[in-house]
Amino acid sequence: MDPKDARFLAGLVHLGFVSGTAMREALAGAREGESPPDLLARFGLMAAEEAERLRANRLGAEPSFTRYERLELLGEGRTARVFAVRDRRDGRTYAVKLCREEQARDPKRLRRFLEEARLLCELEHPGLLKGYRLARDHGQYFLVMELIRGEDLERALERDGPFAEDALLDIARQVARTLRFLRERGLVHRDLKPGNLLRDGDGRIVLCDLGFAVREGDLRGGGRTVGTIAYISPEQARGLADLDARADIYSLGATLFHLATGEPPFGTGEDPRTLRSQVGEPLSTERLRAFRLSPLLHYFLEKMLAKDREIRFQTPDEILAELAEKWRPETDPATPPSPTARTSPSRRRRRPAAGRRPRRRRR
């Protein structure tokens, strides 16, 4: 069999479209020269057209669009892939988010994806990814949105190590403004984390991925833990339904903690141990001290990461008010050193190892 076809069939099993047993039976009964879609259809495993479509787009990894030319892959998450595209009509570039094929088969997941897309098209704020249109082409739904030329903060952290204090408090301020906007609309994001914050070339921080966003008081998701365990609040970890902005504030604290120290507060694991720590393990003041953060940053982290939401910052406005009162940035964060200049590959290569920033900041 053609290696491409073999990879395609193996991928179908791997992604759960067809069971391994059913595939083995089909392969054992394959006829000379029979194409994979015909084989799959003959064994009742998948409609031939659907198999042809998935074979053509390499199970979603290489989608095609009539209107858009696909450029590079910008990022991937658990539910989606995001590509840069060029609009053939006006030559402009956009980002396109597509639900992974294996996720789109699940009606609940697909519905969430469509809800997220509609929400991003409806909301408008500089700290929130702007969605333009939801479309369907080649059997796939996709969201056309603003393209952020930059990177997400998880990647920035991996490459450059922990962030400096002014940069962190600037992120806190920008994200708090976005959270205030969401709160005014009664929305809780539920998946705030470094990988869902994009930074553009001007230092603007843009929140993306509203795949888990819900209306405050919406009972959906109650009793079930959603989000990314390393960053979720105790109440979210316990599956409580009555989440509000304070849950996102905790996640902002966990995000800033990770960006400040190189480690999330209670481990990276998507496991029951990390989940238990989110619920019950107090933030160790000693451990925080060991990172030698400034008293100011320490204060903000502790107050955002309070287990009891009654003693956390109660609203994004409270964070903004305290930042305005207590924080005097050394450098003007409105004009940060251009991240693209600071991190251009040529410059990175030239930088001597001794000049690299340590994983943990010392002062």
Ligand X SMILES: Nc1ncnc2c1ncn2[C@@H]1O[C@H](COP(=O)(O)OP(=O)(O)O)[C@@H](O)[C@H]1O
Angle at 129 between CA 126 and CA 131, to 5 degrees: 115
State how far the alpha carbon of 283 is from the alpha carbons of 166, 272, 288, 289, 306, in Å: 22, 17, 8, 11, 8
Nearest residue (CB) to ligand X, 26 versus 104: 104
Chain-centre distance of CA 196, in angstroms? 3
Q: Which residues pair with 151 in a beta bridge?
A: 199
Nearest residue (CB) to Mg ion, 23 versus 198: 198
If binding means CB under 6 A, how many residues of this protein chain bind ligand X? 22
Which window, 32-40, 142-150, 283-291, 313-321, contacts ligand X (CB under 6 A)? 142-150
Query: CB of 323: closest distance to ligand X in angstroms?
Result: 26
Which window, 47-55, 94-102, 152-160, 203-211, contacts Mg ion (CB under 5 A)? 203-211
Give the residue nearest to Mg ion (CB): 77
Nearest residue (CB) to ligand X, 247 versus 288: 247
- Annotation says 191 is catalytic: yes
State how far the alpha carbon of 218 is from the alpha carbons of 118, 162, 205, 228, 308, in Å: 17, 36, 27, 19, 21
196 binds Mg ion (CB under 5 A): yes
Which window, 34-42, 75-83, 266-274, 314-322, contacts Mg ion (CB under 5 A)? 75-83
Nearest residue (CB) to ligand X, 9 versus 128: 128
If binding means CB under 5 A, how many residues of this protein chain bind Mg ion? 3
**Which residues within the stretch 204-223 sit at the binding site for Mg ion (CB under 5 A)?**
209
37 binds, among ligand X, Mg ion, none (CB under 5 to 8 A by kind): none
Instruction: State the alpha helices, DSSP H only, in the chain.
Output: 3-14, 20-28, 36-42, 48-56, 101-104, 107-122, 153-160, 165-184, 234-237, 245-261, 272-280, 285-290, 295-304, 316-326, 339-342, 345-350
- Note whether 191 and 227 are within 8 A (CB): yes
**Which residues within the stretch 38-77 sit at the binding site for ligand X (CB under 6 A)?**
74-77
146 binds ligand X (CB under 6 A): yes
209 binds ligand X (CB under 6 A): yes
214 binds ligand X (CB under 6 A): no
CB atoms within 10 A of CB 187: 21
254 binds, among Mg ion, ligand X, none (CB under 5 to 8 A by kind): none
DSSP string, 105-142: TSHHHHHHHHHHHHHHHH---TTBPPEEEEEEETTEEE
- Note whether 178 and 209 are within 8 A (CB): no
Considering the candidates 191, 202, 271, 317, report the single residue annotated as catalytic: 191
Which window, 111-119, 141-149, 159-167, 190-198, contacts Mg ion (CB under 5 A)? 190-198
- Which sequence positions are flagged as catalytic? 191
